[in-house]
Structure 1
Amino acid sequence: MHPAGGYKKLFETCEEFAEPTPAQVTGEIPAWLHGSLLRLGPGLFEIGDEPFLHLFDGQALMHKFDLKAGHVTYYRKFIRTDAYVRALTEKRIVITEFGTAAYPDPCKNIFSRFFTYFQGIEVTDNCLVNVIPIGEDFYACTETNFITKVNPDTLETIKKVDLCNYVSINGATAHPHIEQDGTVYNIGNCFGKNLSLAYNIVKIPPSQKDKSDPIEKSKVVVQFPSSERFKPSYVHSFGMTEKYFVFVETPIKINLLKFLSCWSITGTNYMDCFESNDKMGTWFHLAAKHPGEYIVALTYTNCSNDALIPTQLTIVPIPC
């Protein structure tokens, strides 16, 4: 039985297109509407006999719709990530995804396979979630520290970028905020003071006059403390206004100790390390944008309680 059950249609593998294909248009597209629309999603759901078990595990496929003079062409191409290229080369799932664990090469002897487990965590670069503009370039991204630069015209993969080389984060969301001038703000967890977990707001400036890469000028502008030292909350997105950052720290936690030990010894996936802290409630964090300064944390009881009452107010400025 297919792991998707009744949703098998969502898990069907797609083929790349060799060239843009005219699309059939129902109705009428205004002649003045022209441009390109880029989208990302999963497109490859099995490697040989090994299936990907979660919708978020399918390998990244970029879609492009070109609109001109009332006509539309469609084109798609797989992003050449390490996860994709190595899987096709080795004919097996090589890098663990959100809901699918990868295992050592079965062709290795027992000793080589054993030591493979202790070579550290290999984080996926399967950037299937979103495509974002940074400066004059476009990057495919997921929720890890890796983003992939792509050519928006040909959909060719250009290069893989590790955000950890520029700012202190372990990963970043796939849903940053982009201001009118092109400035990008995102959030990711990190290790703060005394090795305690924290969450950093990262700023990537807009296009540079000297044509340098804006990512090289990335910086942390403010840091939110974590409610638990070894269990960061899952972060999908955050809020931003003209003057403030708003971060909602939820009770959905990632057990880091389980993540490290299970991954290194038994083999597991990201999803297996999620757990819920029913006693935590929800924390609302507020920080100023200019200058970057942590202002307050509001802790609320969970939604099953009779009343939502603030239980903690703190003001802790953090230099940026």
Structure 2
Amino acid sequence: MNARVGYHLGLTSQGRELEQTALPLRGQLPDWLKGVLLRNGPGLFEVGGYRCRHWFDGLAMLQAFILRDGRVGFRNRHLLTRTLEQARRSGRIEGSGFATDTNRSVLKRLRGMIRPNLTDNANVSIAHLAGQPVCLTETPLPMAFDAHTLETRGILPFTDNTTLHMSTAHPVADHHGGDLYGFGIQFALTSQYLLYRIPAGSRRRRILARLPVKTPAYMHSFAVTEHHVILSEFPLVIRPVDMQITGRPFIENFRWEPERGTRFQVFDKHRGTHLGTCVGEPCFAFHHINAFEDQAGRLRVDLAAYPDDDVIRRLYLEPLRRGWREPACGEAWRFTLDLQKGTAECTRLAERGLELPRIHGDRCSGRDYRYVYGTGNHVPGALTDELVKLDVSQGTHQVWSETDCYPGEAVFVPRPEATDEDDGVLLSVILEADTGTSSLLILDARSLEERARATLPFHLPFGFHGEFLPDQG
């Protein structure tokens, strides 16, 4: 099987569901690596007459890699949502997707201003809400599931009365007590950004701050430090009324206005006070790498950044399957915020780019750090062809790559009782073109040398995000 066919498999539906207690394993797992890697992402790109146009609209599928007793088990399940049910029943969907037309009438779109018809296709990430694992997307509809069986339990509703039309799929857990921080948008003639905190064990969003805005920005993630919450307003903005009158899919109503620059809205993390706006050069990003206050008290915000929003168009399935003519990958940009001057000075942290960035979160999230891991795209033709480790303090990088292999997000798992920031392993699901199958790759996080590889009997579509749940005791 040639590389192009193999690469395309990552953008092809996987309708099978499998449960296997021990996958074929090459190499040896570290004795201490015991737990479950849960992953979320698209599993189906067409159901009946329904066809996705964009990678982000693929219908959700959960995966679990079970690492115990030196073996790797596996199971996968499609997330049983209203969206999937509609697609199976009628070949169409009603809830608003990212970039796929829902074929809603003008009347239904206008009604959506009052009673939003939000998608429950939670295909982006995994979090824990009130002690329950949930799948998330950019709507405020967490989908609960059983962490052992992966069976869908349904929407886990919040217990407050806050109405949001858009909500981050990347809430940030606080080091002190486990509270979750998040943000959302209320679309209206004058829209609002809302920052909220969810106390540990609760499903109630406590509003920290509201910020009125005429033309809201598209923001997929945000940043939380020890003392601040930061919204990064990229100059990709929308007039909310356009969503109701144009009939275009959600993201196609946003406009790129680089003259606005990138506006960092800074809030006090504890009181919710809006401390000011810092403006830097225009850019776009899906993911924040990290943010922190340095020893001098300056705010640093690190992004996997692009010079503009063209990457969104590159991720439509047609150009993705055709193969990119030029590599396209986020670059590690650092903005240093000066609240007194209202400026944000940008520097590039390394020559090598990356996407789907991960750090040693338990130790470094919201704090100064050194290493970030991600997927890379160094040669033309593929969405991802390498794993990258950046040393942001030295500006250096290390790379893992293998001919005709296409890796996904690298989840860092620290070795118990480790003292060094990069003492652990990386877990990445890779697509192997020569066999047309996917594998779980385990790398030493220090050297990027392979420790083990567990191979599935079929391919998995390219996914988004995952979390490792270590065994207790």
TM-score, with length taken from structure 2:
0.55
**AA in 2 matched with 1:262:** T
The answer for unaligned runs of 5 or more in structure 2 is 284-306, 308-335, 343-473
User: In the aligned structure 2, how far is the partner of 1:7 from the partner of 1:253?
Assistant: 33
Contact 1:53-1:99 within 8 A present in 2 as well: yes
SS where residue 22 of structure 1 aligns?
coil
Query: What's 1:125 paired with?
Result: 120
Conserved 8 A contact 1:30-1:69: no
**2:358 corresponding residue in structure 1:** none
Per the TM alignment, residue 133 of structure 1 is displaced from its structure 2 partner at its CA by: 1.1
Greater strand share, structure number: 2
Q: Distance in 1 between matches of 2:278 and 2:91?
A: 50
Say whether residues 1:218 and 2:213 are aligned partners: no
Q: Which letter does structure 2 place at the counterpart of 1:258?
A: D
Asked whether the equivalents of residues 248 and 284 of structure 1 are also in contact (C-alpha less than 8 Å), the reply is yes
CA deviations 1:269-303 (Å, max 9, x no partner) are: 11221211232112111111122211111234547
Distance across 2 between alignment mates of 1:70 and 1:6: 29
Give the secondary structure class of the aligned counterpart of 2:255.
strand
What amino acid does structure 1 have at the position aligned with 2:208? V
What is the Cα deviation at residue 198 of structure 1?
A: 2.3
Amino acid paired to 2:242: K
**Within 5 A, what are the aligned runs for 1:178-217?**
178-180=173-175, 181-190=177-186, 196-207=190-201, 214-215=202-203, 217=204
Per the alignment, residue 61 of structure 2 pairs with 61
Report which stretch shifted further, 146-155 or 294-303: 294-303
Residue of structure 2 in register with 1:47 after alignment? 47
Partner of 1:278: 258
Specify which of 289, 293, 296 is matched with residue 273 of structure 2.
293
**Structure 1 residue 117 displacement after superposition:** 5.8
Output the CA distance in 2 between the equivalents of 1:20 and 1:98: 33
- What SS does the aligned partner of 1:146 have? coil
CA contact (8 A) 2:277 2:339 kept: no
2:141 matched to 1:146? Answer: yes
Does 2:153 correspond to 1:158?
A: yes
Does structure 1 retain, via aligned residues, the 8 Å contact 2:120–2:141? yes
Q: Tell me what 1:108 maps to.
A: none
Which of the numbers 222, 243, 251 marks the counterpart of 1:259?
Answer: 243
- Cα displacement (A) at 1:311: 11
1:249 to 233, 241, 245: 233
Amino acid across the alignment from 1:184: L
Conservation of the 8 A alpha-carbon contact between 1:248 and 1:282: yes
Corresponding residue pairs, total: 284
CA displacement at 1:168 relative to structure 2: 4.3
Q: Which residue pairs with 1:210 in the alignment?
A: none
- Equivalent position of 1:15 in the other structure: 15
Inter-partner Cα distance in structure 2 for 1:95 and 1:273 = 16
Aligned equivalents of 1:17 and 1:47: distance in 2?
16
RMSD: 3.0
Q: Which runs of 5+ in 1 are unaligned?
A: 105-112, 208-213, 315-320
- Work out whether residues 18 and 74 of structure 2, in 8 Å CA contact, stay in contact via their aligned partners in 1: no
Query: For residues 290 and 51 of structure 1, what CA distance do their matches in structure 2 show?
Result: 45
SS of equivalent residue, structure 2 residue 167: coil
After superposition, what is the alpha-carbon deviation per residue over 1:159-196, rounded to whole angstroms, capped at 9, x for unaligned?
2145595434322111110123221001111269xx62
Shift of 1:96: 4.0
Q: 1:255 to 1:16 in 2, by over 3 A?
A: farther
Q: State the one-letter code of the partner of 1:235.
A: M
Deviations 1:14-42 (A, max 9, x none): 12425344222221102332111111000
Q: What amino acid is the match of 1:170?
A: H
Specify the alignment match of 1:72 in structure 2: 72
**Equivalent residue letter for 1:97:** G
Q: CA deviation at 1:91?
A: 3.4
* Farther off after superposition, 124-133 or 10-19: 10-19
Paired letter, 1:86: Q
